[in-house]
Structure 1
């Protein structure tokens, strides 16, 4: 159990700490240009354990992204727990139990990756709350994230996760893009919640 799991998150305190987050995650359609242009992920509606795990991974360096590493490195365990609690309270409409099945080739790719076994049949009900909800997430972000598991030895790009690394390495970039496009097309529970000053 990580240190973040030992700290109880306070959503109200997290709201007060989210100023550093809203400049990217609070602006609908906001794009990041590193390592390539893509929309920043929707984090409103993710589970607190996933948000905490992601921030811990950036802080530790298992997820490499200079901006996120700098931000996560400035956070205490309590800050991480509070921010995770805050963003997890941005409930969206509940994702349906069943989602449209992918077409031919994509169905084979999803089966090959065993995506359902971790992320749930609707891709919004992961078997472990520290795994992300991915249904409806931005396709371009998902594609960049999936590719990052294949990057080795780069100090600025990549993600160290043995499970996802093993899965992503089975696919070409074109196949990863097909998977990302399918997942993005699904109804999900994620959103970008604008802050009042950015509306």
Structure 2
């Protein structure tokens, strides 16, 4: 499913991404091997396939292996700064240094990734209603072809992500000022605030149904 990007929107999004890039990332290089020794606080949720968080509501935690490294750095930095307000993730990210964040991101970006993993089957086309919602939100303008090739690595791959997580994430961007689950991001807030809960859920469940590159790599002790 190839979509045409809006050049104006894409240029704006790229500019905002550059402006929002975490300053600490300058000069900090992630080490995946070092990161493997720093994920003890992560594997209890992200190392169990289908693991469900219970706060602030029940949903599956995101699959983060194979995710863009730069996005993972950005997300962890946002939790540490408080731009993302989830208490558990804020507590974990707050304990990490810039180097820790870079190393953890490098580990998960490569964890379980195999040669040829970028080759995905063609996705199913959305129905007319969902197609209109995706067009209204200009989702492909940032997340790229088939929602697996973002125009900038600071944006996430979202195809194949757990639909219930995507729905909660979209609502968190829409409810950006909520003290428990809000997420501060001007691009995503502008998109999400256009939609009702039902419309956000329709978007999330379509994108989550697509073939994607993100995955959960089970921690051996939890198999």
TM range (shorter): over 0.9
Moved over 6 A (4+): none
Distance 1:155 1:100 in 2: 37
Distance 1:152 1:178 in 2: 20
- Structure 1, unmatched stretches of 5+, are none
Q: Secondary structure at the match of 2:92?
A: helix
Matched, 1:34 2:34: no
Matched, 1:173 2:194: no
- Give 1:122 deviation, angstroms: 1.1
- Give 1:77 deviation, angstroms: 0.2
| Match of residue 186 from structure 2 | 162
With structure 1 as the length reference, what TM-score do the two structures score? 0.96
- Classify 1:186/1:152 alpha carbon distance in 2 versus 1 (closer, same or farther; 3 Å): closer
CA contact 2:177–2:183 (8 Å) conserved in 1: no
CA contact 2:176–2:189 (8 Å) conserved in 1: no
Root-mean-square deviation (Å): 1.2
| Match of residue 183 from structure 1 | 207
**For residues 123-151 of structure 1, what are the alpha-carbon distances to aligned partners after superposition, in whole Å with 9 as ceiling and x for unaligned?**
01000101000000000000000001121
- Classify 1:40/1:139 alpha carbon distance in 2 versus 1 (closer, same or farther; 3 Å): same
| Match of residue 9 from structure 1 | 30
CA contact 1:126–1:132 (8 Å) conserved in 2: yes
Distance 1:54 1:34 in 2: 19
**For residues 137-172 of structure 1, what are the alpha-carbon distances to aligned partners after superposition, in whole Å with 9 as ceiling and x for unaligned?**
000000000001121432222000001000000110
With structure 2 as the length reference, what TM-score do the two structures score? 0.86
- Give 1:114 deviation, angstroms: 0.4
Counterparts in 2 of 1:61-100, with a 5 A limit?
A: 61-90=82-111, 91=113, 93-96=117-120, 98-100=122-124
